[in-house]
Amino acid sequence: MADTAMSESADSADPVSSAVPVPIVVPAPASAPETGSAGTVEGDDPLDRAVWRLRSRGCWDDAAALLEPHSVHHAPSALRRAALLVERCMFTAAGWAGAEDALRAAEALAGTDDERGGAACERGHLAYAATVLGVRDRADEARSALGRAAALLAPTAAGRPLLDFRRGLMAEHVADSPDSARAAYRRAHAGATAHGDTLLLSFTWRHLAGLALRDGELAEARHGFAESLRIREELGFLVGTAPALVALAEAAPDADADRLRAEAARLYRLMGGVPTWLADHLSTGITAT
């Protein structure tokens, strides 16, 4: 939703808030910059759990440090580490050099089409983040990288739903093509459901709801935002919860909206001002950038 120059998101999608994060277009509060991050909540492995706990609290550097020893020779770990640092850029508008270095390392280790496609997807998302956050216009690079990922990832690949979601972000926030974005988000939603990627579902719910709000479909928007928030709260994606609350406030009655924004402001302070792009929207709602 946490998608303000960011909309969800995004490495794969992890439990976070629902406003993800991001584009530069018409005022669409529900479509704030969000991240579109990678991967869903991790499994039973102690390292996975530790990485998730840190990531869900916005401690991306610490989470990446846990993966660093494994990422030297292991392509999936290198890609996962890069995705964490790309997500950090989306939420904080900082750490670009570290994310670039991690991405280059992941690209160098990638040996299969899935690994190369995953790295290209992250490359595209980093370029998208730089574009929508106003750091530098890298839209052409984002399109190229996401196109390369589409050529490498099979339709049934685990990384395909995340790619579809990120192509939807480009369509909505860079190309200003809501119809194309809606089609991409729906593909991502169906794929995330099939692959059990619950975190990504929180992003697809939020962005589909944002488009519904843009079209004046208030009930549909409220349902989507509520589902996105519910998932993030259940997953414990704390760093993404405030954007989800703000997004839901856009479709809620005034009394409820005030309460939702107050809770979002509390969480925003608790997280130390992350996501950085949320500050200007706590009282007025999120607008697409």
User: In the chain, what percentage of residues exceed pLDDT 90?
Assistant: 80
DSSP 8-state symbol, 289? -
Q: Average pLDDT in the 93-107 region?
A: 98
- Tens of pLDDT, residues 85-98: 999 999 999 999 99
Q: Average pLDDT in the 16-43 region?
A: 39
Q: Which residue has the higher pLDDT, 217 or 14?
A: 217
Closest CA to 165 of 25, 29, 13: 13
Q: Which residue has the higher pLDDT, 287 or 225?
A: 225
Judged by average pLDDT, the poorest of 5-14, 100-109, 117-126, 177-186 is 5-14
What one-letter code names the amino acid at 174?
V
Give 282's pLDDT tier (boundaries 50, 70, 90). confident
CA distance 51 to 242: 21
The token pair that represents 145 in the structure block: 């990288």
Q: Average pLDDT in the 104-127 region?
A: 98
Distances (CA, A) of 49 to 55, 89, 158, 278: 10, 22, 20, 27
Looking at residue 281, its pLDDT comes to 77
Query: What is the largest distance, in Å, between two alpha-carbon atoms of the chain?
Result: 54
Per-chain mean pLDDT for the chain: 87
Q: Where are the domains of the chain?
A: 29-281
**pLDDT higher than 90, residue 15:** no
Whether 225 and 206 have beta carbons less than 8 Å apart is answered as yes
> Does residue 275 have a cis bond before it (omega within 30 degrees)?
yes
- Tokens 């916005």 locate to 58
**pLDDT higher than 50, residue 3:** no
Looking at residue 43, its pLDDT comes to 63
**Predicted TM-score (pTM) of this structure:** 0.86
- Tens of pLDDT, residues 145-158: 999 999 999 999 99
Give 279's pLDDT tier (boundaries 50, 70, 90). confident
The token pair that represents 48 in the structure block: 């996975």
Whether 80 and 70 have beta carbons less than 8 Å apart is answered as no
Distances (CA, A) of 146 to 93, 140, 162, 182: 21, 10, 11, 17
- Tens of pLDDT, residues 35-80: 455 444 556 789 999 999 999 999 999 999 999 999 999 999 999 9
Q: At what angle do helices 241-249 and 218-235 cross, to 10 degrees?
A: 160
Give 217's pLDDT tier (boundaries 50, 70, 90). very high
The alpha carbon of 170 is separated from its chain's Cα centroid by a whole number of angstroms, namely 12
Closest CA to 208 of 231, 185, 191: 185
Looking at residue 259, its pLDDT comes to 95
Report the CATH fold assignment for 29-281. Answer: 1.25.40
**Burial of 33 from C-beta contacts in 10 A (0-12 / 13-18 / 19+):** buried
- Tens of pLDDT, residues 239-259: 999 999 999 999 999 989 999
